[in-house]
Amino acid sequence: MSASRTNWKGIMLFLLPVALLYCAFFLYPLVFVFVTGCTSWNGIRAMSFTGLSNYIKLFGNGTFRLSLRNNFIWAFALAFIQVPLATITAMVLARKPRGWRFLRTVYFLPNVISQVAIAMMWMALYNAEYGILNHFLSAIGLESWTHNWLGEIGTALPAVIAQQVLYIGYFMIIILAGILSIPDSLYEAAEMDGAGVLRQELYVTLPMIRGLLVTSMTLAVAYGLRHFEATYLMTNGGPANSTSVLGLLLYKKMGALDYGQANAIGSVLVLTGGLLIIFIRRIFGRVESASETVQ
Amino acid sequence: MGRNRSPSLIADRAASLAKWLFLLFFLIITLFPLIWLVISSFKTNLEFQTKPFSIPELWQFANYINAVSISGLHLLFLHTIVVSFASTALNILAASMAAFVISREPFRGHETVFNIVVAGILVPVIALMVPYFRLISGLGLYDTLFGLIITYAAVSIPVSVFLIHGFMRSIPRELEEAAVIDGCSLAQRFTRVIFPLSRLGLVTAGTFVFLFSWNEFIYALLLTSSVKARTLQLGIRFFKSQFITDYTSMYAAIVLSIIPTIFVYILFHDKIIKGMTSGAVKG
C-alpha cells in the first residue's frame, strides 16, 4: 500500500498464474498463427517458409472467398438486423410495460443454452419432412412456400443465420441497461417541449446510448467472424459450400493436416476482426464528433 | 416515470397493439422452440412425425430412460460437471489473484497489464485451433478432461479478470486499512479481506465461466477423441448417429443437457445481467 516500497516479489507471484495461462493461450498462439501462416507445414515434417503464398492460394480459392463473404453476411446480419431489433425491444421494455422483467429474463434465456442444443432444435424445426415450419406453412395454405430449408442453396444460409439473429436477448440486455440509466429529467424536458414517444426515442434515447450501440455492433461483428457451431452442426458448410464460414474452413484444413493454410485462415480471422472493429469505431467516432460540432 | 403519455387515443391504441405484437413475436421465437422440444421429447416417434403440433396422447417417460441408456448420458454428465467446476475454480482463483494486485496494489504498469489481459476479449480464439491442439497434445493432455479444464480456464481469463477487477476496485479502502495496521501481508490481505469481500463479483464471473464451460463445443471437438473425455455438448452431436431414427429419445437427451444451465440461469440471472452490463458500459 505504501507508495515508497512496491512489493514486486508479491505482485509477481500473484500475477504468475494469469501470466502463464495468458502467454500459453493468447500471446504464443497469436504469434504462432501468424508465423506458421507463412509456411507450408503438415504438423509432422519440418515447416518450410513460403511467405505469402498461402494467402495468395487462399484468395484464389472459391470456397475461401465464399466463406469470407458469408462471415461478412453474418457480421452484417448481427450488427444491422439483430442489434436494431434488440434496440427497439430494449426501448419498449425501458418504458416498463406490464411484465417487462419477465420478458427481459425470458428473452435472454437462449443465450445460456448451448449452441449445440439450439442447433439440434432448429434442425428439427427446419426439417423438410417432419419439421414444424413446413407443417405450419402447409396448415395455413402456403404449401408453395415450403422448402428443404437447410438443404437448398437459396435458403440454407438465411435459415442458419435467422435462428441466431432472432435471439435478441444478449444485446437487448446491454442496451436496456443503458437506457434505464438515462435520467428521467431528460424525457420530462422533451415531453414539456411537446415531443411524443417516438421523438423522445429518436432525440433522447438514441444519442444517449450511442456508445453502447457501437459496443454492441463491435461485439456483433466479432461474433459474426467467429461463427462456427451452428453451421458445423446444421449444414457442415453445405449445400455446395453455400453456408461455409472461415472457422469451418480452418477446421477442415486442419483436419486435412494443412496447418499452413489453416493458420493463414486464422490470421485472416484475427486481422479482419481487428480491422473491422477499428473501422466501426472510426465511423461512429466521426458521427459523434460531427454531432458535437452541430451543437 | 412520466414517460408514457400520448395525445391521441386511437394512435395510442394502435401503438400499444403494435408494441405488444412485437414483444409477443420475440416471446414466441424464444420460448416456442424450447417448449416444442420438451413436448416432443415425451412423444412416440410416430406421433412426433405425424402430429407435430399435438400434445402427446401418452407421455413417454421411457424416452428419458432410453436417452440415458443408449447414450451413456450419465458419464457425459459426470465429465461435464467435472470440467465445468474445475475450470471455473481454476479460472476464478487465477483471475482473482491477478485482479487483486492490479486493482488494490497499483504498481507501476498495472494499467498496461490490465489492458493487455482484457484485450484478450477481442481475440477470436476460434482462429487459434492449431496452436491449442499442438499445445494440449504437447503437454500430453490430448483426450483428457484436464486438457479441457485448462483450456476453458485460460480462454475465460480476460472476461473474468475484467469483471473481478471492476468489482474489487469498488471495495472501500477503509475495510482493508485495519488489516494493514495489524501487519497483514499481501497474501493475508487477499485471503482474509479482499477475497471474502469480493464474493459477489466472484460469483458473477464464476457464473459466466461455468456457463461457458458447460456449453463449449469447439475445443471439446478438437481436443478429445474418445468417450473417456467426451462432454455433453460433444455427446449431443453423436446422439444423431446413436439414435438413428429414435428422434424423441434424442430430444429427451437434449432436454436433460440444458436443464442444468437453465437452473443456473434462474438462480443467478440478476448477477449475469449485472455482469454483462458492467462489461458493456466500459466496452
C-alpha cell at B49: 412425425
| Interchain proximity B218–A229, CB inside 8 Å | yes
Q: Are A91 and B225 in contact (CB under 8 A)?
A: no
**Is the CB of A260 inside 8 Å of chain B's CB atoms?**
no
Cβ-nearest to A18 among B132, B157, B262: B157
Cross-chain Cβ contact A247/B101 below 8 Å = no
Q: Which residues numbered 52-81 in B keep a CB inside 8 Å of some CB on A?
A: 52-53
CB atoms within 10 A of CB B221: 19
Q: What is the DSSP string of A100-119?
A: HHHHHHHHHGGGGS-HHHHH
pLDDT at residue number B283:
37
| Backbone Cα Rg of chain A | 24
- pLDDT tops 50 at residue A289: no
pLDDT in the model for residue B7: 56
User: Chain A residues with CB inside 8 Å of B153's CB?
Assistant: 21
Query: In the predicted model, what is the mean pLDDT of residues A119-143?
Result: 88
Choose from B71, B84, B126, B256 for mutation: most chain A CBs within 10 A.
Answer: B126
End-to-end CA distance of chain A: 45
Average pLDDT, chain A: 90
% of residues, chain B, pLDDT over 90 = 60
- Interface touch A124/B185, C-beta < 8 Å: no
Whether A162 and chain B come into contact, CB under 8 Å, resolves to no
Region of A182 please: left (phi>0), alpha (psi -120 to 50) or beta.
beta
Within 8 A by CB and 6+ apart from A114, the residues are: B214, B215, B217, B232, B233, B236, B257, B258, B261
pLDDT tens by residue, A49-59:
888 999 999 99
Task: Give the CA distances from residue A169 to residues A88, A261, B122, in Å, rounded to whole numbers and listed in that order.
Answer: 12, 36, 21
* Interface ipTM: 0.90
Helix axes A169-180, A210-226, angle to 10 degrees: 170
Inform me whether the C-beta atom of residue B281 falls under 8 Å from chain A C-beta atoms. yes
> Which of A11, A20, A35, A116 to mutate: most B Cβ within 10 Å?
A116
Cell of A228: 462456427
- Please list, in sequence order, all residues whose beta carbon lies within 8 angstroms of the beta carbon of residue B123, skipping any fewer than 6 positions away: A26, A30, A270, B158
- Contact at 8 Å (CB) between B63 and B42? yes
Mean pLDDT in residue range A86-103 = 94
Chain A and chain B share a number of CB contacts under 8 A equal to 269
Rounded distance between C-alpha atoms, residue B97 and residue B160, angstroms:
11
Q: Is the pLDDT of residue A91 over 80?
A: yes
Reference B58, options B70, B46, B68, B67; nearest CA is: B46
Residue contact B157–A28, C-beta within 8 A: no
The cell 412426433 sits on which residue? Answer: B48
Give the amino acid at A10: G
User: What is the rounded average pLDDT of the residues A135-159?
Assistant: 90
Residue listed under C-alpha cell 459523434: A288
Distance of CA A22 to the CA centre of its chain: 23
Helical spans, DSSP H, in chain A: 8-22, 28-36, 53-59, 62-77, 83-94, 100-108, 115-126, 132-139, 153-165, 169-180, 184-192, 197-200, 206-208, 210-226, 229-234, 246-255, 259-294
Cα gap B98→A94, rounded to integer Å: 37
Per-residue pLDDT band for A66 (boundaries 50, 70, 90) equals: very high
Cβ–Cβ contact B3 with A under 8 A: yes
- What is the β-pairing status of strands A48-49 and A39-40? antiparallel
Question: Would you call A1 an interface residue with chain B, using a CB distance cutoff of 8 Å?
Answer: yes
User: Which pLDDT band, with edges at 50, 70 and 90, does A64 fall under?
Assistant: very high
pTM of the model: 0.91
**Half-sphere exposure for B253 (CA within 13 Å, toward CB):** 31
Q: Which residues sit opposite A39 in a β-bridge?
A: A49
Contact A230, A221 (CB under 8 A): no
Joined together, the cell numbers standing for residue B118 give 482484457
pLDDT digits (tens, 9 = 90+) for B133-165: 999 999 999 999 999 999 999 999 999 999 999
SS3 state at B150:
helix
- Contact between chains at A116 and B236 (C-beta distance less than 8 A): yes
Does B97 contact chain A (CB < 8 Å)?
yes
Mutate to test the interface with A, among B30, B233, B267, B269 (most CBs of A within 10 A): B30
Tens digit of each residue's pLDDT (9 = 90 or more) over B78-109 = 999 999 999 999 999 999 999 999 999 888 99
Taking the C-alpha atoms of residue B209 and residue B207, their distance in angstroms, rounded to an integer, is: 6
Q: Does B149 touch chain A (CB under 8 A)?
A: no
Contact B124 A167 (CB under 8 A): no
Q: How many residues does chain A have?
A: 295
Q: Are B87 and B209 in contact (CB under 8 A)?
A: yes
Residue B241 has pLDDT above 60, yes or no: yes
Confidence of residue A3 (pLDDT cuts 50, 70, 90): very low
Average pLDDT over residues A257-267: 95
Rounded alpha-carbon distances, angstroms, from residue B198 to A93, B190, B271: 31, 10, 13
Q: How far apart are CA B162 and CA B172, in angstroms?
A: 18
B4: chain A residues, CB-CB within 8 Å? 95, 197
A256 by DSSP, 3-state: which?
Answer: coil
* Residue located via cell numbers 458521427: A287
Interface contact A89-B124, CB threshold 8 A: no
CA angle B49, B260, B238 (to 5 degrees): 50
Question: For residue range A175-217, what is the model confidence (pLDDT) as tens digits?
Answer: 999 999 999 999 999 989 888 888 899 999 999 999 889 889 9
Residue B42 C-alpha cell reads as 415425451
Provide the Cα torsion B80, A32, A44, B150; round to 10°.
-20
Query: Which position has the grid cell 466521426?
Result: A286
Angle between helix axes B157-169 and B247-282 (nearest 10 degrees) is: 50
The average pLDDT across B21-29 equals 95
pLDDT band, residue A228 (cuts 50/70/90): very high
Contacts of B61 (CB under 8 A, 6+ apart): B42
Distance from CA of A206 to the nearest CA of B (A): 15
